[in-house]
Amino acid sequence: MDLGLTLGSLLAITILALIAAKLFPVSSGLDEGRVKRNLKRYEPDLEFGKTYVATGGKIALAEIINRPDVIGLTHLLGDRVVCRILTASDIKRVHRGRAKLAIELNDFTQPEISMVFPTDVAADAENLLNSISKPAETAHAA
């Protein structure tokens, strides 16, 4: 292992990543169509109902019509969508702040997801989350 080559490689990859970010900016967030399309790809047998896209367009929750015991979660990672179908056992804890919802998940690659919903859908989004998360697991954020 050559230290010079390793350090040179680190410098080169940083420059390449910066060029990639400049040439390929992430422009679009999540919307209802994108959320449903991706969740359908992820779980084709499920029927998705209402979707709640958090402010910033990076996180969304989705109701599942034919499986009321689970909900859909999508997360925009860079320019790609990461999907999960959450059951009660996937959720460790829910923190509810004034406008913010934070979910701690049993998921090594996304252990915590925070979201702020527009006021007109915040209550509905929280109700959807409540439908699968047990009240005992709820903690109020400071």
Given the rule CB under 8 A, which residues bind another protein?
A: 1-2, 5-6, 9-10, 12-14, 16-24, 26, 41, 44-45, 75, 77-80, 82-84, 107-110
Give backbone dihedrals phi and psi of 37, rounded to 5 degrees, phi first: -60, -45
Q: How far is the CB of 93 from another protein (least distance, A)?
A: 17
Q: How far is the CB of 79 from another protein (least distance, A)?
A: 5
DSSP state of 73: E
Pinpoint the alpha helices (H) of 24-83. Answer: 32-42
Q: Using the minimum distance from each CB to another protein, give the nearer residue, 3 or 142.
A: 3
Q: Using the minimum distance from each CB to another protein, give the nearer residue, 114 or 124.
A: 114
Query: Please, are residues 115 and 129 in contact by the beta-carbon 8 Å criterion?
Result: no
Specify the pairing of strand 91-96 against strand 59-64.
unpaired
